[in-house]
Amino acid sequence: MIKMVVSSIKLNTGRSIPGVGFGTGTSFFNRGDAVADVVKHAYQAGFRSFDCARIYGTEEGLGRGIAELGVDRSELYVTTKTPDWAWSKETIVAEVEGCLKRLKLDYLDLVLHHSPAPRIGAKFMATYLTPEEIKNLPDPLDEAVMDTCRLQMWLGLQLCVEKGLVRDIGVSNFTVNHLKKLLKNPEVTITPAVNQVEFNPYIVDSPIQEYCKQTGILLQAYAPLGNGKDMLLSDPVLERIGGVHNKTAAQVALRWSLELGHCIVTKTEKFDRMKENLDLFNFTLSREEIDQITALNKNKRNFPDPSQFP
């Protein structure tokens, strides 16, 4: 078996993160056993970075899969995300401690906060919270309230770093507005290492891309191939460029994200597709090809627009 070599990207903390990660969201939701089974295949394909989240219901499965690998912890990079209902220092620390127990790990490489505000109408909320608990969540559309909540959330993540529970911390689905307001607070002593956002050739979020670049925050693209059901994977521009490099349209789209300086999180349950998603480091795109792919932008989101939250 040919071993895939996955390049890493340097974070603003001096540590590095693998350029391509294996995600356990969307179709894996609450399918911990499936995740446990697929980890071995992902590792064999070459993945060393694994991404999960409290709301996915996959932490225990990922932890079991990792334990069954029997490899040294230092070989792996594990990311999880704290949930929409954790908005105080205390609840953030408790959530991270709970994540570590479910994953059966001593530390996490990266913890992101999943959303800039509670997604009250989301289906997963009813899975974890009672109607009364949902009712008592902070108002996601109250700007002053959420500014305070985001600060307290971040102070909790900073405390997790101090406690040695987490090496690096970041956010997910944060807009330029959310980041600017957070970073201007003097109590914020750690700049987010990562902002994980929806990003692919059909949703090129230039403002957040530029702001992350300016502030040294690594943009991590989720849904880098769209939802797998739209026309992205059969886009004629991607297919034409793929033909030049003897690559698939998917590989061209993923390589494009890497060329822009982002890291990516992919998801598949098929071993051949896992290998395909990692076979990205033996070709490069020209400046003209990168610009042609960027020009495909349709501002097409498959997930809710986080700018709805002030």
List pLDDT tens digits, range 121-164. Answer: 898 999 999 999 999 999 999 999 999 999 999 999 999 999 99
Q: Which residues pair with 50 in a beta bridge?
A: 22, 78
List pLDDT tens digits, range 253-293. Answer: 999 999 999 999 999 999 999 999 999 999 999 999 999 99
- What pLDDT was estimated at residue 30? 82
Query: Does the structure show a pLDDT above 70 at 4?
Result: no
Which residues make Cβ contacts (< 8 Å) with residue 305, sequence separation at least 6? none
Catalytic residues: 56
- What pLDDT was estimated at residue 1? 41
Query: Does the structure show a pLDDT above 80 at 230?
Result: no
For residue 26, name the pLDDT band (cuts at 50, 70, 90): confident
What's 16-228+262-269's CATH class? alpha beta
Average pLDDT of the residues in 79-107:
97
3-state secondary structure of 233: helix
Long-range contacts of 293-299 (CB under 8 A, 24+ apart): 293/201, 293/237, 293/238, 293/241, 293/252, 293/253, 293/256, 294/201, 294/204, 294/256, 296/201, 296/202, 296/204, 296/235, 296/237, 296/238, 297/201, 297/202, 297/203, 297/204, 298/202, 298/203, 299/203, 299/204
Query: pTM for the whole thing?
Result: 0.95
Which residues make Cβ contacts (< 8 Å) with residue 213, sequence separation at least 6? 219, 261
Which residues make Cβ contacts (< 8 Å) with residue 252, sequence separation at least 6? 238, 241, 242, 245, 285, 293
Average pLDDT of the residues in 170-188:
98
Ranges of each domain in the chain? 16-228+262-269
- What pLDDT was estimated at residue 3? 55
3-state secondary structure of 10: strand
Query: Does the structure show a pLDDT above 70 at 240?
Result: yes
For residue 32, name the pLDDT band (cuts at 50, 70, 90): confident
- What pLDDT was estimated at residue 2? 47
d(CA 293, CA 280): 16
236 token code pair: 């004629």
Q: How high does pLDDT run on average in the chain?
A: 95
